[in-house]
Structure 1
Amino acid sequence: MYSCSAMVHLKVTPESALADEPVKIKAWGLPSRQIVTIRAWLKDDRGEMFYSRAFYESNDEGEVDLQQSPATGGDFHGVHPMGLFWALKPVTPHFRLLKRDVMGSPFEVHLELYCHLELNAMPECSPEATASLRRWYVDPGVQRLQVQEGRLRGSLFIPPGEGPFRGVIDLYGGFGGLIEFRSSLLASRGFATLALAYFAYEDLPKSFDFLDLKYFEEAAQFLSNHPKVYGSGVGVIGVSKGAEMALAMASYLPQIAAAVCINGPVTITGSTVSYGDLILPEIPYQRERMMFTQSGGSIMFRLYVDLTDPEHQACMLPVEKAKGPILFLVGENDQSCDSLSYARASSARAKEYGKMDVYIESYPGAGHLLEPPCSPFCPLSRSPSSPIPMIWGGELVAHCRAQEISWPNILDFLRKNIPCSKKNKL
């Protein structure tokens, strides 16, 4: 086994940054044309280990610069400066990397360089060089306020400064509970963001079988009325079941000025949703159509209905009633639901009624869980709603590129379409 000289260095810049910001990784002091392995690993808030690795060949000057050097193998191929972060995968199968305590310590990512092809998940030999960096999910000065207002449950993230700020409600899907990492990053980008729990949290219902749209209206009113928030309309962003509820909010609630719907249905699906005396038409999950793979995961999109059926078209949410624009973000390799077909059907319905501000951004090769940039690709994970792991779909490079592209587009869309006036509070 080849041993590098004692002059090998590995450096990452910056060593401390928000989790949605790229970093630069560079090694030098290597022999020219030397094959090396660069490995990344971290432990999440529960102590679960995640790791990745890629192989590189040093240039004539004995350098490896991930901005320019292609990975020749490992978890990915080609020039991908953030590939080691994209490819982080669990040692314990089917775990998903989530930052749960966003206000606490950051993720500490460790980088190790080996002067050979290191094929073991847990190497026994010592690395030739190491570096580390801290990945924060909240900018200094962001405040987190626990929300227990009436029946509302969640947390409100307020950016630093006097404000007022544009307000956004953030919804996740079938995992339930309170997921905050996107909310804290949105606040770090200048949005007052309400991470809203709506089931399986504290004294909320255990499941989403029965949902009251008035609850979401109370959340929109609460955020609009907050002294740090512009009061003339708020935005909403959601993924999966959260995207479904975001679309319902945009369709029925006057407080919603803009909505971002990520890979979700465009009907009320698998739950009963009421809005006062109105019961929104619901389509049950078709569990008999569930497909299984030899790996033990399930492909879920066949649970959802075909919207070419006129009976099912009648159950589509009335997107044409939305006050503001709607942005559908779609992973074309989504294996949880047929997101592209649904987004197209909803857009077509909007145009039939003369609403022209419904937009679709679709990403070939991307799967269901489109997260902020630099988030690891998660093609399969456990879910509280399923006894077996769920297949989310996607391909590593295509999916993670989609995350890099979609995040600034989300921020731009929300900035442009959430009003900045204190007047006419709703």
Structure 2
Amino acid sequence: MISLKATPEISLVDEPVRIQVWGLQPHQRITLRAWLKDEKGRIFHSRAFYVSDTEGKVDLEHSPATGGDFHGVCPMGLFWALKSSTPFQRLRKLDVMGSPFHVHLEVYSHLEITPFPETPPAATTSVERWFATPGVQRLEVRQGRIRGALFLPPGEGPFPGVIDIFGAVGGLVEVRPCLLASRGFAAFALAYYGYDDLPKTLDHIDLNYFEEAVNFLVNHPKVTSGGVGVVGISKGAEIALAMSCFIPQIVATICINGTICITSQDLSYGDLTIRGLPHQLEKTLITSMGAVEYSRMQGDPRDPANLDSVLPIEKARGPILFLVGENDLSLDSVLYAKLAKTRAEKFGKKDVFLRSYPGAGHLLEPPGYPFCLMTLNPLSGVSVMWGGELVGHCKAQEMSWRETLDFFRRYIPCSQRNKL
């Protein structure tokens, strides 16, 4: 009898799952398949082919996939390779608190070439992949102008505070802050347009709005004193870097595939205005699949005409970590990170760090998400190429997530608040 086991059956999405099959014939060719249904009812699926060992077993921690969506030893490959049959679809988790991803696993006692087999599997099991540990709280934030959601870990606290800022798609994206709370941080998912009563479009960046968010988190009774961290991706990384340069309560900053300059929209902060580096649309590349690559579209911050758009990274109070994909097709993020580090060192700032990942694209997200090469941008209606390749990108997500947690644990003060 063929048996299929996945352990643990219930886990956070950033934790590994071990998949094992036994009861096979020696050297038997099999197919392993995974699938889930997202909150919109769309099916995401993956498959890989294996050959059992002399004992009739397959263990994804040791057994190499011979084909399918990936090959070689790849214990989490079935999760990494989940994809929709509809082009340009990206797996997203909307309700991070209420329900997990139910990932169904199936084993077929033969090579199953069709993506949706009609023959029944020889064995099945499923796992629950959660985004919040028990006891994590989600609190809606509508205070003054700021809008978002604050995630608090279980316990009395206080906890180190982190602000999370997503990219230029707008809205409120809660996956990373929810996972940060599950790992012990008071994490504030901050929206800045396209959410609630905020502006529908991003016409300019008002840094005073983000300073209000910092003051809210710094003064929260569940947050440790001494300052907070900020993490952002893409446009959010640009804003996070600006926050670190001008807002002294920011003591640790992580920029994921961002820039060293203000781009497109101008930034204002009190009497200060930083001109947004204009896009050069004529340098946009269109692939054979009809998706666009934006990595060459940004102006060169080294051009003397663009120097007034470059952020003064040397003014940042705390350390800054740049996490970049070497195959980012949306931004030349490796160049921007290197320029930022060079500028910082020129002015004597030694705590700017760079981690770059071969094979990784633009969408470096927590390890609960599969690889996504391209998606349809809902704002422009254009398909965007993000870059990367499956194994390199997903390994980078696992490594960058560990480095994110380690960085914030090291540099955000954990001092208790003075009691009245």
**Aligned AA (1:279):** T
**Aligned AA (2:15):** E
2:170 corresponds, among 148, 169, 176, to 176
Distance 1:178 1:374, change over 3 A: closer
Residue 308 (str. 1) matches residue 309 (str. 2): no
Q: Give the conservation status (yes or no) of the 8 Å contact 1:22–1:374.
A: no
Kindly state the Cα deviation for residue 236 of structure 1 after the two structures are TM-superposed. 0.3
**Aligned AA (1:187):** A
1:14-33 equivalences in 2 (<5 Å):
14-33=8-27
Kindly state the Cα deviation for residue 403 of structure 1 after the two structures are TM-superposed. 1.0
Q: Which residue of 1 aligns with 2:106?
A: 112
Residue 42 (str. 1) matches residue 36 (str. 2): yes
How many residues are treated as equivalent by the alignment? 419
Distance 1:206 1:151, change over 3 A: same
Q: Give the conservation status (yes or no) of the 8 Å contact 2:97–2:132.
A: yes
Kindly state the Cα deviation for residue 113 of structure 1 after the two structures are TM-superposed. 0.6
**1:179-220 deviations in whole A, cap 9, x for unaligned?**
001110000000000000001111111122212100100001
Kindly state the Cα deviation for residue 386 of structure 1 after the two structures are TM-superposed. 2.6
Distance, in Å, in 1 between the alignment partners of 2:22 and 2:291 is 42
Residue 229 (str. 1) matches residue 223 (str. 2): yes
1:54-73 equivalences in 2 (<5 Å):
54-73=48-67
Q: Give the conservation status (yes or no) of the 8 Å contact 1:235–1:418.
A: yes
- Larger CA deviation: 340-349 vs 200-209: 200-209
Q: Secondary structure at the match of 1:301?
A: coil
Kindly state the Cα deviation for residue 332 of structure 1 after the two structures are TM-superposed. 0.5
Q: TM-score, normalised by structure 2?
A: 0.98
Distance, in Å, in 2 between the alignment partners of 1:279 and 1:424 is 37
Residue 132 (str. 1) matches residue 126 (str. 2): yes
Q: What is the identity percentage for the equivalent residue pairs of Structure 1 and Structure 2?
A: 60
**Aligned AA (1:380):** M
- Larger CA deviation: 385-394 vs 355-364: 385-394
1:257-336 equivalences in 2 (<5 Å):
257-336=251-330
Kindly state the Cα deviation for residue 45 of structure 1 after the two structures are TM-superposed. 1.1
Residue 395 (str. 1) matches residue 389 (str. 2): yes
Distance, in Å, in 2 between the alignment partners of 1:306 and 1:177 is 29
1:145 corresponds, among 111, 128, 139, to 139
**Aligned AA (2:83):** K
Q: Give the conservation status (yes or no) of the 8 Å contact 1:112–1:130.
A: yes
Kindly state the Cα deviation for residue 279 of structure 1 after the two structures are TM-superposed. 1.0
Distance, in Å, in 2 between the alignment partners of 1:49 and 1:402 is 25
Q: Give the conservation status (yes or no) of the 8 Å contact 1:232–1:423.
A: no
Residue 123 (str. 1) matches residue 117 (str. 2): yes
Give the unaligned 5+ runs of structure 2: none
Q: Secondary structure at the match of 1:42?
A: strand
Q: Secondary structure at the match of 1:76?
A: coil
Distance, in Å, in 1 between the alignment partners of 2:374 and 2:100 is 24
Q: Give the conservation status (yes or no) of the 8 Å contact 1:15–1:132.
A: yes
Q: Secondary structure at the match of 1:118?
A: coil
Q: Secondary structure at the match of 2:34?
A: strand
Distance, in Å, in 2 between the alignment partners of 1:305 and 1:421 is 42
Kindly state the Cα deviation for residue 296 of structure 1 after the two structures are TM-superposed. 1.0
Distance, in Å, in 1 between the alignment partners of 2:157 and 2:111 is 52
Distance, in Å, in 2 between the alignment partners of 1:422 and 1:251 is 26
Distance, in Å, in 2 between the alignment partners of 1:186 and 1:101 is 16
Q: Secondary structure at the match of 1:340?
A: helix
2:7 corresponds, among 5, 13, 17, to 13
Q: Give the conservation status (yes or no) of the 8 Å contact 1:335–1:368.
A: yes
Distance, in Å, in 2 between the alignment partners of 1:268 and 1:25 is 45
- Larger CA deviation: 270-279 vs 246-255: 270-279
Distance, in Å, in 1 between the alignment partners of 2:283 and 2:378 is 20
**Aligned AA (2:216):** F
Q: Give the conservation status (yes or no) of the 8 Å contact 1:198–1:204.
A: yes
**1:253-298 deviations in whole A, cap 9, x for unaligned?**
0110000000011111111211112111211112222111120100
Q: Give the conservation status (yes or no) of the 8 Å contact 2:3–2:123.
A: yes
1:91 corresponds, among 82, 85, 89, to 85
**Aligned AA (2:358):** P
Kindly state the Cα deviation for residue 398 of structure 1 after the two structures are TM-superposed. 0.7
Distance, in Å, in 2 between the alignment partners of 1:239 and 1:85 is 22
Q: Give the conservation status (yes or no) of the 8 Å contact 1:49–1:92.
A: no
Kindly state the Cα deviation for residue 118 of structure 1 after the two structures are TM-superposed. 1.1
Distance, in Å, in 1 between the alignment partners of 2:257 and 2:418 is 33
Distance, in Å, in 2 between the alignment partners of 1:255 and 1:292 is 42
Q: TM-score, normalised by structure 1?
A: 0.97
Kindly state the Cα deviation for residue 374 of structure 1 after the two structures are TM-superposed. 4.0
Give the unaligned 5+ runs of structure 1: 1-6
Kindly state the Cα deviation for residue 51 of structure 1 after the two structures are TM-superposed. 0.5
